[in-house]
Amino acid sequence: MAGSFSDVAQEDLTCPLCYELFVDPHVPKILDCSHVCCQVCLKRLVKGGKSTIYCPECRQTIHVPQGKIPALKTNLRIRSLAEKHIQIGATAQKMQRRQTITCTNHEGEKMYFHCVACNVPICQFCLLHSHKEHDVREQKAVVQDKKDEMEKLMREAIGDVKSYEARVQGLNDLEQGIEKALKQEEAEIDECAERIRRKCQALKIQLRQAEEERFNTIREERERLGIQAKNIRTHHNHVESNIDTMTDYDYISAHDEFMIKMKALTVKEKGADIYMKPSVSKFVATPGELKLGWFSKPKHIDPDQEFGEFESASGLVSTPLGFLTVSDFGNNQVSVYSEQHNEYKKLMNITLTSSNQCMPIDVAAAPDGRFLIVRGSGIEVYSIKGKYKRKIGTSSITEGGEGANTVDVCSVTTTRDGRILAADYGKSAITVHDPMGRIVKTISTSVKPQCLAAIHDSHVIMSDFHSGKVCIIDLQTTEETLNVDIPEAQGVCYDEQTNCILVVRNERGSEPGRVFIGTGVIEQYCRTTGRLIACLATDLYHPRALAFTSDGRLAVADSKTIKVYKNI
């Protein structure tokens, strides 16, 4: 039977020069004489690039290939034995540490028990005498309990580590998201700068073109005057060179010819009118400062005022006279409010016609102050004093010109030039009416429009709560200039100060058409890219509509009340 590693003498596994075990970096190398020395010691012997050395034990000359000790053969058997020798020694020390220690009070007695009360290990004699009244357990059981406790704590610690690592990953993702957003913003700034550069270049070209005709006139006049001066000087030199050398007879004969030609050359012709304008074409900048854009930071606004007791405020508009008009769907009424001493007071209730029992869905105001109220898929017109005037026709001719289609109106807004825009939810279209209410155009939309807001006279914003879309449509070309996903979007409006669109949203419930009360928000989006800029307000009850007051404050119909914000 092979002997154990303890039978192997340690000196057989060590270098005869440095007495280090044959383990890295002291790799055992076999010499030609079969003796073994470590690589470290042999390297010291070949300093200077020598190709031969003497064996440290037998002094025999040993050839070293190219003077490189690592090229010598390694005694793998000895190195393996040396490594195992180290492992056995470490295991023996570990086992020695784990052996049960003996009692200090009773010689030779090993302590197999543990006193819980005193929290000390004891032997069997200690158990019978000094600790017989104490709670005593086997030491192995106590150790196992403590190991279980430590393992539980370590598992919790690992859970904390994973939590911290997840947070670190979240921070990394946040940093990457910010970096990506920064690059996108930089690209947008570069694009804006490029547009400005192209515009400036076009203005320079226009300026040059505006003065090009004058430049041509100047060049032609300069060339004409130069030729005339040259001709006069040539004739002058000719007369001057001949007047003194000619005989009196010859001069008298040539005098008339000289005079006629000189007078012809010096006739004052009317030159081109190049001195009438005192300066070049004047560049006229558009009014206001040049606005390249802006940087936005997350912000939050709080309501400055809150008024009204509504059942379900569904529409909101600021009239040209400065009034706030609210359509209350739940109470079947439209109320007009005016600001008095920094508070909104009810001015009047518009008495709706009894012939139409449908609830008011939305309200808008014409430039002349008239009220437009959406009821029963139609639009009713009321005077400034709230008197019923007439009903706007709600039928449009089909594309083929055959018959008429009923317009299913659910929202209405007006442009500055008095045109009326109605959202035809049933046919996914927007109908454009003239100030008298006649339909002049029907614009098909990619989604079903539910809420509308005009951008001056050129564009209209629309939202569709069910599809979660907000679009901007060019009223002239009927093309969509923006189409973005904004889930649960309802009321929309345009902010002239920032050139942004504002949207009210509600978190949708599990049932179709149901929303969670108290989860409404007001968000600000870029008009051109649809990028979310900021969440302006949260925790709204159930917002439906937005409007700016005459003094520039933002008002929101929050179902039960109207909230007015001081600034954005």
Does residue 39 carry a pLDDT above 90? no
Residue range 524-549: average pLDDT? 89
Q: Which of 358, 347, 352, 360 is nearest to 315 (CA)?
A: 360
pLDDT at position 377, please?
73
pLDDT tier for residue 413 given thresholds of 50, 70 and 90: very high
pLDDT at position 487, please?
87
Q: What percent of the chain has pLDDT over 70?
A: 85
Does residue 400 carry a pLDDT above 50? no
* Other CB atoms within 10 Å distance of the CB of residue 483: 14
End-to-end CA distance of the chain: 92
Does residue 545 carry a pLDDT above 90? yes
Going across the sheet that includes 303-307, the strands are 303-307, 561-565, 554-558, 545-548
Residue range 203-218: average pLDDT? 83
Please write the tens of the pLDDT for every residue from 323-333: 999 999 988 89
Residue range 538-557: average pLDDT? 90
Q: Which pair of structure tokens corresponds to residue 124?
A: 């069997």
81 versus 258: the higher-pLDDT residue is: 81
Q: Which of 486, 484, 435, 432 is nearest to 459 (CA)?
A: 432
Per-residue burial over 265-289, b = 16 or more CB atoms within 10 Å of its CB, e = otherwise:
eeeeeeeeeeeeeeeeeeeeeeeee
pLDDT tier for residue 124 given thresholds of 50, 70 and 90: confident
pLDDT at position 221, please?
85
From residue 362, alpha-carbon distances to 70, 308, 359, 448 in Å are 92, 17, 9, 16
DSSP of 437-490: S-EEEEEE-SS---EEEEETTTEEEEEETTTTEEEEEETTT--EEEEEE-TTEE
Alpha-carbon span 130 to 109, nearest angstrom: 15
Could you tell me which residues come within 8 angstroms of residue 5 by beta carbon, excluding any fewer than 6 positions away? 81, 84, 85, 88
Largest interatomic CA distance in the chain: 171
pLDDT at position 563, please?
93
pLDDT at position 24, please?
86
355 versus 192: the higher-pLDDT residue is: 192
Number of residues written out for the chain: 568
Could you tell me which residues come within 8 angstroms of residue 304 by beta carbon, excluding any fewer than 6 positions away? 553, 564, 565, 566
Alpha-carbon span 156 to 159, nearest angstrom: 5
**Looking at residue 5, what DSSP letter applies?**
G
| Residue with tokens 């079903």, as numbered in its chain | 448
Alpha-carbon span 361 to 327, nearest angstrom: 7
Please write the tens of the pLDDT for every residue from 7-34: 456 777 888 888 888 888 888 988 888 8
Does residue 430 carry a pLDDT above 90? yes
Does residue 464 carry a pLDDT above 60? yes
| Residue with tokens 């419930």, as numbered in its chain | 509
Q: Which pair of structure tokens corresponds to residue 410?
A: 């659910």
From residue 150, alpha-carbon distances to 137, 153, 157, 540 in Å are 19, 5, 10, 49
Alpha-carbon span 546 to 404, nearest angstrom: 33
Could you tell me which residues come within 8 angstroms of residue 71 by beta carbon, excluding any fewer than 6 positions away? 64, 65
Q: Against a cut of 0.75, is the pTM above it?
A: no
Average pLDDT, the chain: 82
Do the bridges between strand 36-38 and strand 28-30 make them parallel or antiparallel, or are there none, so unpaired? antiparallel
49 versus 134: the higher-pLDDT residue is: 134
Please write the tens of the pLDDT for every residue from 262-297: 777 776 666 655 555 545 566 666 555 555 555 555
pLDDT at position 2, please?
44
Q: How far is CA 458 from the centre of its chain?
A: 28
3-class secondary-structure state, position 149: helix
